[in-house]
Chain A
Amino acid sequence: MKNEFIEHHLNMNRRKFLSRLSLGVGSLALGSLLIPDIFGKGGMEEAPFIPGVPHFAPKAKRIIYLFQNGAPSQLESFDYKPKLREMMGQELPASIRGGQRLTGMTSGQSSFPLVGSHYDFKQYGESRAWISDLFPHTAKVVDDICIVRSMFTEAINHDPALTFFQTGAQQGNRASFGSWMSYGLGSENKNLPAFCVLLSRGKGNGQGVYSKLWSNGFLESIHQGVQFSSGESPVLYLNNPDGIDMANRRQMLDQLAAMNDQSYKDFGDPEINTKIQQYEMAYRMQTAVPELTDLSKESDDIIKLYGPDCLVPGTFAANCLLSRKLSESGVRFIQLYHQGWDQHGNLPNEMAGQAKDVDRASAALITDLKQRGLLDETLVIWGGEFGRTNFCQGKMTADNYGRDHHPRCFSIWMAGGGVKPGIVYGETDEFGYNIVKDPVHVHDFHATVLHLMGLDHEKLTFKHQGRRYRLTDVAGKVIPGLMA
């Protein structure tokens, strides 16, 4: 009896097998109903990205990026390393350098003597952050800023490093940071470009900036950065030619738009539509820009806040003041470049000059945004493309030395727009050569900034030549420690 029972169970007949199998297939089929396009080619398709709207409620609406082009030394600004003074002139231990590749400028050096900061550091604010004497005004706003001492990058020369910072790749054919922002969030004020670029130049050894840094890359050309120049007309070719008034201009644009529209219908090239939009915006900019660049209504206190140079077009101070006005007028991304931070030699003198150019105005920008209630929604970023070596490049004397490029650690600061104020993030070793705590890669920085702007860096994509591109390429993680 028992054996029969077992036999019965073992003899799972064909019908039972098939009915079980059909049940299994049935439930798979049921499940597959829940997956859209499972058998279609777009099996991996995500929900479509809608440009122009944040993915979630943003902390910051706008960015002002005070790029210090040429790479200011972290060791004379925000990363205090007393040990380097103690060990002045002694050789950098090979264990610390750890085989770091050098630029062509120091790879021939037979020795790498450590050199301490020529300038003293003091602690400021509630955060007790160490800041060098070169930045007295930044020190006054230290409780509003977040100093990141643990930035690192991959490039060791200016152009690749700068391109990496501005486009997320070293090669320079991608869309720039500001263009991504324009693409992702759109323009707030349709009378101005979403992405503006302002240049200034200090007396220090400089490195060039090129328009590829504000290129739209593969994105639509409406997203490219518009450079404001320091001359009489800040935006070139914006003014009507002599003898043409606004009515004429309007008429001309209407005719042109009609023709462009026709050729769009004929060819269907989306760039034609972009062109029409750009003409229309330029027309509206004709009234918006003069209103913006008119500094005659700025009060004396504001001028004293930014310093007298803020009224001299083309200076960093003037660009800071203008960037505040642009930001106030809803420009998403304002990219400043201040050139002259490449101190391979004569660092103490040149850096003092550079710091003097930017210190007061950078701090003033924070104060000014704050008193307008704008700091909460505007993210201000200050920093260069990499750091500088803790050892001397070239001849070292008692009060003069130089520093070469250093990718392994450098300092930047951020303020406002959802960044945790009054903190110092990350730490480097006592030689100021390697990061020992909380490293922040350039991709991480991008991911974090996008997050603050309400964008998921993994979802902000653009399909080009068969693959999806991101500002953060295939890496980057949001750093919660930087966010309030």
Chain B
Amino acid sequence: MILKKGFRWQSAGSNVLYAANIFILFLLIFNGRVVLPSWLQVLGRMHPLLLHFPIVLILVAGVLTFIRLREPAAESWKRQLMAILLLAGALSAAVTVIMGLFLSKEEGYNGSGILQWHKWSGVGICWVASGLYWLSQSAVPKLWLLKGGAAFTALLLVITGHFGADITHGENFVLAPVTPAGKGPQVPFDQALVYEHLVKPVLQEKCMNCHNAGKAKGELAMELPEQLLKGGKSGKLFVAGKPEVSLLLERLHMPLDAKKHMPPAGKPQLTEEETALLYYWVKSGADFKTKVAALPAHDSLRLLAAAMLHPAPAAAPVYNFAAADEKLVQKLNNNYRVIYPIALNAAPLIVNCYNKDQFNSKSIEELLPLKKQIIEIHLQKMPVQDADLKVLSQFEQLRVLNLSFTNLKGQTLSALTALRHLESLSLSGTGVTLAQLQALKTAPALKELYLWNTALSAADLQQAQTIFKQATVIKGFVDDGKQPLKLNQPQLLNTSAVFAGQMMLMLKHPIRGVAIRYTTDGSAPDSMNSPVFKDSLLLEGNTTIRAIACKQGWYASDPVQYSFSKSAYTPDSVVLLTQPNGTYSGNGAKTLTDKQKGGMDQGNGKWLGYTGGNMETMLVFKKAVPVKTISVGILRNINGYIFPPTKVEVWGGTDAQHLKLLKRIIPAAGKKDDPAANMDIECSFPVTTVSCVKLILQPIDKLPVWHPGKGGHGWVFADEVLFN
């Protein structure tokens, strides 16, 4: 009866085991898509508790499979017991696996290699144990299979347990106390000693096992500097400064199979880096006290050390405070004061203020309800007053405070010492003095202090650095004046190069305190004697101005040159009687009277270009004007096939039907080496009253024989026509 009852339980258990295995299979297949409700997380977290059951149950059942009792009744009873233990073990394994799978859904389990190994070996235990149970229930259980299975499960248990422990306690937990600390000593670069922190760890790891005071092979111990200097049976270890003849390096460099090679074959060998380190250490004199930071900047040993001294990874800061009420944060957030968490769902807040017109003391005070969460406040360029520091000092969690270019005078700096976590403080561009800064000496966590662009002199800044030993004083970029820069050229503000009566010429330079010096006689301006340009210059006739920019501490700019022409009368309308080449049609007829000079580039749309035929244009005044000279601007660019016209004719009269020739000019022909230039061709004649003027320019028909395009048509380019 008892057996019967037990059997029923067993059957139910077997069914549950079956169901649980299907469930596990399901979880494994849909692993990526499972989302856990939080109450299941609680179950998951019981995984480390429960896992001890399958270990014990399955191991005991496994041991029982190897025991055979002589008494048949006892044997039968043992089998029964074994089956129940196996079932219980497999069941608890299944539950443990399910909980483990739940646990792995929590944050922090990133699906790394170890986790995968643990997961699959754990699942393996569950399945193999279930299989064993069912096997044991079969009519004629194969004993060898049961035994083998039990042994295999035991192995899986060890493996799973090992990986599980790695996950929980970290890798190498068990052996950590006896294995040397990971590569790279954990000392900051500026405090590291070459021997103590670089050389010694190598010797310790690779040599001292055999060469220590207790076990000095070859009569050599390497634990202490004295021992290293003393050497061993074969003589001194090294000759300082001469690695080539040092025994230490000789032994290291021997072929691995050589009898005297060190470390002996089969023992851990030095890496290339480590060998190089010993080489450079001996080469540099094998000193025991040298600091890494004291080595010259590009010293090989220093560079090697820098590579080996992995700076300890900065631990992610831990914030032990609760998040603020989200509604409150939202309420205090506005267009000019932005409050945001450092990341999604993180408690610490950062505050930025923008637009100085919108800022006042209230902008900070209103934030006080968030003082337990705010870790950074950025107030650069806001009109922060000294009195505001008292309020700021209440933000107890503050790490970063940027007050650069604010209105601070510095009288109340001492208030900031209340900020026990303050790491970075920017006071650049404020009125602080060295004396006031003394008050910050007691700020406990200060690591960065920005002090550039203040009244502090270079010497003051130096002293500030000695006051704040634990912090870095950021002094900012200051030009040392050793490599002066060349100023850029003055800029012309006038847009028109042609004027009727008078013109105010305006030049400016973007840099404060620059003097513009100029000449109008065509000579090169100099930075000592040429007159200084003041705001504007009144022009009354054709003028060419050359100007440079000068300032103390800078090289003077390259000269800039501008020409201005006077045109007493502007035609009311212009008609082109012959059309320019389509590519160079400028702004049509207006090109000739738009008061813009064409410049040096014929393709800029400010020139009219003609080739293969004359340029003929009619300029008309509504009211007749007395004219004495008419000039036309042309371009010369011999290499570009642009020549001066071969003939210029000016016809004038009171109407288009009655024109007479006022002037004909044959300009000097273009020569091979003539530089590219803007020129005015001026036609003077006795004063004539005209209302119609016809202008004819004849381009060169056949290019001269010395020109690459000899025999072909040349070009003429025209722009402004001036009347005086």
Contact = CB atoms under 8 A, between A and B. Distances in A.
Asked if A and B bind, the verdict is yes
Interface of A: 2, 5-6, 9, 19-20, 23-24, 26-28, 30-32, 34-36, 38, 50, 53-58, 126, 128, 188-191, 284, 287-288, 291, 295-296, 299-305, 307-309, 311-312, 328-330, 367-368, 371-373, 454
Contacts of A291: 355-356
24 contacts: A2-B140, A20-B18, A27-B19, A27-B23, A34-B40, A35-B30, A53-B344, A57-B316, A126-B298, A126-B303, A189-B354, A191-B335, A191-B336, A300-B512, A300-B553, A301-B476, A304-B479, A308-B511, A371-B428, A371-B452, A372-B404, A372-B426, A373-B448, A373-B450
A128 B303 contact: yes
**Which interface residue of A284, A308, A328, A368 has the most chain B CB atoms within 10 A?**
A308
B139 interface: yes
Contacts of A188: 338, 340, 352
Contacts of A330: 338, 352, 354
Contacts of A372: 380, 404, 426, 428, 450
B402 interface: yes
Interface residues of B, number: 64
Given A330-B338, A373-B426, A128 B298 contact: yes
Interface in B179-204: none
A358 B479 CA distance: 19
Interface in B478-507: 478-479, 485-488, 491
Contacts of B450: 371-373
B209 interface: no
A19 B356 contact: no
Contact of A24 (B22, B356, B402, B426): B22
A55 B345 CA distance: 9
B280 to A, nearest CB: 15
Contacts of B34: 31, 34-35
Contacts of B452: 371
Nearest to B557: A308
Given A2-B139, A190-B335, A307-B485, 11 more contacts: A9-B139, A23-B22, A28-B22, A31-B23, A31-B27, A34-B34, A190-B338, A287-B357, A330-B338, A373-B402, A454-B343
A23 B26 contact: no
A9 B380 contact: no
A26 B521 CA distance: 104
Contacts of A126: 297-298, 303, 306
Contact of B36 (A34, A189, A309, A312): A34
B19 A24 contact: yes
B360 to A, nearest CB: 15
B35 interface: yes
Contact of A305 (B15, B338, B404, B479): B479
B335 A23 contact: no
A284 B344 CA distance: 28
Contact of B477 (A36, A329, A368): A368
Nearest to B15: A23
B342 interface: yes
Contacts of A189: 338, 352, 354
A191 B343 contact: no
Contacts of A56: 343-344
A57 B342 contact: yes
A20 B476 CA distance: 77
B343 A57 contact: yes
A191 B354 contact: yes
B477 A301 contact: yes
A309 B19 contact: no
A238 B520 CA distance: 41
B344 to A, nearest CB: 5
Contacts of A368: 477
A326 B477 CA distance: 20
B708 to A, nearest CB: 18
Contacts of B478: 301
Given A23-B22, A35-B30, A309-B488, A191 B355 contact: yes
A372 B405 CA distance: 11
A329 B336 CA distance: 11
B26 A284 contact: no
B33 interface: yes
Contact of A284 (B335, B448, B479, B554): B335
Contacts of B33: 35, 38
Nearest to A313: B510
Contacts of B342: 57
A425 B382 CA distance: 41
Contacts of B352: 188-189, 330
B346 interface: yes
A301 B554 CA distance: 12
Interface in B1-59: 15-16, 18-20, 22-23, 26-27, 30, 33-37, 40
B567 interface: no
Given A24-B22, A27-B26, A372-B404, A9 B138 contact: yes
Given A57-B346, A126-B297, A301-B477, A308 B335 contact: no
B677 interface: no
Contacts of B16: 23
Contacts of A24: 18-19, 22
**Which interface residue of A23, A191, A288 has the most chain B CB atoms within 10 A?**
A23
Contact of A36 (B35, B316, B340, B341): B35
Contacts of A301: 453, 476-479
B130 interface: no
Given A23-B18, A26-B19, A128-B298, A54 B344 contact: yes
